[in-house]
Amino acid sequence: MKIFVLTGAGISAESGMGTFRDKDGAWARFDPMKLASPEGFEADPDLVHAFYNARRQKLLTASPNPAHAALARLEDGLGARGGELFLCTQNIDDLHERAGSRHVLHMHGELRKARCMVCARVMPWDDDLGRDETCPACHSHGTLRPHIVWFGEVPLYMDDIQHALEDSDLFVSIGTSGSVYPAAGFVNEARYLGLRTCEINLEPSENAPAFEERYYGPASTAVPEWVDGVLKVLAARG
């Protein structure tokens, strides 16, 4: 069996990373156009750097939760039976990787990386970013930005995502509000391609009616339960 899993902020909520659109989420407190758009960065780079520097420092002290661990188990379990997990996340944290997932596609970029706006080099970056940095690759000064896809920019790996959807049997959406495109449209593409569809979330997302199967609860319990169920079915098939 080949499973395409899309994750969002909800899977990392219990690791303390916060969500965006819940009542205490980041976009309830801050203007996303000031903090997550190329125009916002141009207008006030210090403000944008400070926002992502704080999130990066928080991430360095956060730990994966049982939902991340369950998806790493699923990758192993599917692989051992000739199947495959395609894990695509909207999250910019690296909690999937730290839980043991080997193949993770970060369609909205990665917080622990910086990108040079001159040479386009992407590099690991755990320190604070600011306007004083020099690009280690091309030596331009003040040209590093967080390696994050902002509003108005094109998400990464869209061709790989389309191919993986075409190659999968089941599409599962975990911990995402289903309100940011293109990710919010994956369920419809999956249905069009004939995949079964499943949502796991704290509460019904904006896309809930589009899913055939739905499980609601905190990711740290709902995801391991769902993964155990899938692995049991696979084991029974032999």
Contact between 226 and 213 under an 8 Å Cβ cutoff? The reply is no
Distance of alpha carbon 152 from alpha carbon 80, whole angstroms: 40
59 binds ligand OAD (CB under 6 A): no
- Spot the catalytic one: 49, 68, 96, 108: 108
Which of 3, 5, 6, 9 forms a contact with ligand OAD (CB under 6 A)? Answer: 9
Torsional sign, CA 60, 4, 19, 45: positive
Catalytic, 108? Answer: yes
* DSSP code, position 155: P
Residue nearer to ligand OAD on the CB measure, 12 or 168? 12
Phi-psi region of 139 (alpha: psi -120 to 50; beta: other; left: phi over 0): left
- Partners of residue 146 on adjacent β-strands: 114
Within 195-234, the residues that bind ligand OAD by CB under 6 A are 201-203, 205, 218-219
8 interacts with ligand OAD by CB under 6 A:
yes
Q: Is 20 a binder of ligand OAD (CB under 6 A)?
A: yes
Query: Which member of 90, 168, 173, 207 binds ligand OAD (CB under 6 A)?
Result: 90
Residue 38 near ligand OAD by CB under 6 A: no
State the amino acid at position 218 in one-letter form: P
8-state DSSP, 142:
S
Closest to ligand OAD by CB, 8 vs 66, is 8
Q: Nearest-CA neighbor of 77 among 88, 85, 68?
A: 85
- Stretch of 11-19, 42-50, 70-78, 120-128 lying at the interface with ligand OAD (CB under 6 A): 11-19
Cβ-contact 95, 89 below 8 angstroms: no
Nearest distance from C-beta of residue 201 to ligand OAD, angstroms: 5
Q: What is the identity of the amino acid at 231?
A: L
By annotation, the residues acting in catalysis are 108
> Which chain residues interact with ligand OAD by CB under 6 A?
8-10, 13-14, 19-22, 25, 32, 36, 90, 108, 149-150, 175-177, 179-180, 201-203, 205, 218-219
